[in-house]
Amino acid sequence: MLKAQEIYWNHYKVDIESKITLSSLALSIFHLKYNDSLKWPIHIPNKNEDSFIRRGYYSGHSDTYKPYSKNLYYYDVKSLYPFIMTGEFVGVYYSEELKYAKSVGYTVLPILGYLFELMESPFQEFVRSLFERRKEAKRQGNDAMSFDKILMNLLYGRFGINPKSTITVICDESKYKDLLKIVILSFEISLVRTTTSLPSITMLT
């Protein structure tokens, strides 16, 4: 860990111990070294835009468990997925998904949406650089650079993070008291004293 901390500090001027999660580390690296805010300004959607777009931002969830109970009624739909695919439905979808749906025979009737201008990806240099660093680290057997593969994966998800979430902030006691005055805090708020004198709080955004 100390070796990784040294490498990331020398290359990015980021202390990995100051980051709660690897996704926050990925975002910091992107902004510090790769993001050109003038060339690729990041649009912050308003509440209505964000709510609409998230209806088309799907994700998966997997669980492995054995449900157990007594005196239950269990209902099942025969061939649920194929059945749903044959019907009509309304939803929010990315344009490329709609193009594919049309190519395989679906009829698409646009109702409303948001139109975005096509632009060059702001992530190309970030991905290319970390990919090459990861490849070189594997060749050298440098385990300290093992974070690079994970960082490449996590940046995408970080930009899709739900703004209605809690944020944990590492801070000293003075900063902690300042935050108490200006932010809405969750009922889980706590000042945690550590050996490194870095209290943390959890707040709602």
Kindly report, residue by residue over 148-172, the tens digit of the pLDDT. 888 888 888 888 887 776 667 777 8
CA–CA dist 147, 4 (Å, integer)? 9
Decide: 152 and 130 in contact? Cβ < 8 Å.
yes
Sorted by where each begins, the domain ranges of the chain are: 163-205
Q: Reduced to 3 states, what is the DSSP secondary structure of residue 109?
A: coil
How many alpha carbons lie under 13 Å from residue 3 in its C-beta half-sphere?
7
The distance of Cα 32 from the centroid of its chain, to the nearest Å, equals 18
CA–CA dist 1, 19 (Å, integer)? 14
Averaged pLDDT, 120-142: 87
**Structure tokens that stand for 164 in this block:** 């209605």
CA–CA dist 111, 101 (Å, integer)? 16
pLDDT at 52 over 60: yes
Q: Which residue from 176, 183, 174, 166 is spatially nearest to 200, judged by alpha carbons?
A: 176
Decide: 155 and 135 in contact? Cβ < 8 Å.
no
pLDDT at 30 over 80: yes
> Other CB atoms closer than 10 Å to residue 179's CB: what's the count?
15
DSSP 43: P
Kindly report, residue by residue over 53-106, the tens digit of the pLDDT. 989 887 655 555 666 778 888 788 788 788 777 778 889 998 999 999 999 998
Task: Record the pTM.
Answer: 0.61
pLDDT band at 8 (very low <50, low <70, confident <90, very high): confident
Decide which of 2 and 153 is more confident: 153
Kindly report, residue by residue over 100-125, the tens digit of the pLDDT. 999 999 899 999 999 888 888 899 99
